[in-house]
Chain A
Amino acid sequence: MPILEVQALSYSYPDSPGPSLHGVNFKAEQGEFILVTGPSGCGKTTFCRCLNGLIPNSYGGDFRGEVIVDGLATTEHPVTEVAQRLGLVFQNPENELFCTSVEREVAFGPENLSLPRSEIKSRVDEALSSVGISHLREKSPEELSGGEQQKVAIAALLTMKPKVLVLDEPTANLDPLSAESVVNILAGLNRRSKVTIVLVEHRLEMAAPFADRCVIFDNGTISHDGPPADVLYSDGVDALGIGIPKVVQIAKILAAGLGFEGRPLSSRELSDMLEGERKEANIMGRRADV
């Protein structure tokens, strides 16, 4: 059974002239790393809020269709219950972190679940170390950099032991090095604990190499959904206003100019593929000589 299932989802915010989402169908299996992108205002944030139940439970509005998280329909279960299976990380850590120490921040979730103290302590220790911030335990979130704050936000959700982590542009306000660090942590979590990751991200070149799937939203609905190479190399994707990685642009030109057939998502892949084609050309050349 898929861990996440969205069927015919349509949604309009209260007092809004039109729907922010319409006819959205989406599935995710446990352990997938899914990259979500799309031009501004296409409904990505709304989609994230629908996934953890904030829509429709906290936001009201006109909600149609179904969102099922680990077997729970978001319209029939409170956010607090869905939140134990799906964690949502937002863009701006300053609005997510509201305690004065990292340790307490990370403990907030399990405390709400009324878990025994020893369980809370072990979950906090585990979450801090899996995100690599155990050394920040005693610090106040105010003292941390943006990247560290986002890691605290991630750790704070990991203590809920979610099966899915949804992150809505978590690196938007971060400098490139911190952004890379956060994405690497997510990739690590996905590999080791098989947490399903749904990452909304503009910097495709950073995240695409880790992703199993790439989903593009356009005007409130999903226009592309498939393996990153398939999606990013498909025709018409350039017109959507998303940041196509330079390596993809280069590969497309090389395809026209050199008959290059590879579909690399990173410079390492491009380099390997070029070498592969070169070797093949040499072999072919030698065969022709013979």
Chain B
Amino acid sequence: MISFEGVYYSYSDRPGESALDNINLKIEDGALIAILGENGAGKTTLIKHINGLLKPQRGRVVVDEVDTKKTTVASMARKVGLVFQNPDHQLFAETVEKELSFAPVNFGLPPEEVNKMVEWALREFALLPYRDRPPFLLSGGERKRLALASVLCYSPQILILDEPTTGQDSGQKVRLASLFRRLNAEGRTVIVVTHDMEFVADFIPNVVLLSHGHLLAEGPAREILVKKELLENSSLTPPQLVELSWDLGLESPSLSLEEVVSAIMKREGSGT
């Protein structure tokens, strides 16, 4: 479990502004959760606290009973995998294979285990044909897959992704969502920071709303993403189905295509 207790943080070059202000949040094991908020709301700051890249100035962050202030990022990384938005900020090795082995080797895992993990990742992410190729020669989409693979290959308990859907088409998003569900089924926690309201509405059950460093709301997406005022206060646009529900004057706005369609059919069918 991840627990934020009274966390406060502000950046050194913007001392007056609080990037995170009194955050109290608990994320259970096996959760699939999206962190939403406008630019500057504190989303990236929040996730950097989970693996210890940032340490709270007040309060504490506890991950599986370990206080992040009491350990290094590298040791947290064994449990918390963080995939950054731009894969080019991570890829550096001579071959895809070496790239995948970077993290497990850093954790001091024995060579047989490292090999097993690398083989698994190559197969799982369809990277076998690129095994000996330098990461830089892969296409943009392939590099994004490789960055994700290089974090997942050592099976961290908690996976955090920063904007995983930018540059991905809808087929790739569906595959990503099913990967998340599989990880959840194994009891792993998946946290996604994103602007992509459609992706969240379609695939992520729980959300956390941040605005100006404050926690505005947390809970099931289907309850939170239908509240007009909440969305406005966090400068977020509603998902398409919610906007449709409002524009059509439907009684209960929903995130589900089936529910919206049957609400329309009911209304039109009754001829009013």
Contacts and interface: CB of A to CB of B under 8 A. Distances in A.
Direct contact of A and B (CB under 8 A): yes
Sort chain B's interface into a size bin: 20 to 34
A173 B166 contact: yes
B168 A40 contact: yes
A257 interface: yes
A94 to B, nearest CB: 11
Interface in A218-256: 241-247, 249-250, 253-254
A39 interface: yes
A253 B237 CA distance: 25
Given A247-B240, A249-B257, A267 B38 contact: no
A65 interface: no
Residue in A41, A254, A281 whose Cβ sees the most chain B Cβ within 10 Å:
A41
Interface stretch (A134-142, A152-160, A270-278): A270-278
A267 B244 contact: yes
Interface string B125-160: 000000000000001110000000000000000000
Sort chain A's interface into a size bin: 35 or more
A257 B265 contact: yes
B64 interface: no
A231 B208 CA distance: 37
Interface string A163-174: 000000100111
B198 A243 contact: yes
B195 A172 contact: no
Contact of A271 (B38, B166, B247, B271): B247
B195 A242 contact: no
A161 interface: no
Interface stretch (A77-85, A106-114, A123-131, A175-183): A175-183
B251 interface: no
B184 interface: no
B167 interface: yes
A160 B242 CA distance: 41
B85 to A, nearest CB: 9
A258 interface: yes
B171 A246 contact: no
Contacts of B195: 174-176
A122 interface: no
30 contacts: A38-B169, A40-B167, A40-B168, A172-B166, A175-B39, A175-B235, A177-B38, A178-B39, A205-B240, A242-B170, A243-B170, A243-B198, A244-B170, A246-B240, A246-B241, A246-B257, A247-B244, A250-B257, A250-B261, A250-B264, A253-B257, A254-B264, A257-B261, A257-B265, A258-B268, A267-B244, A267-B247, A274-B264, A278-B268, A285-B271
Interface of A: 38-41, 145-146, 169, 172-178, 180, 202, 205, 241-247, 249-250, 253-254, 257-258, 267-268, 270-271, 274, 277-278, 281-282, 285
Given A257-B265, A285-B271, 4 more contacts: A39-B169, A175-B38, A176-B197, A258-B268
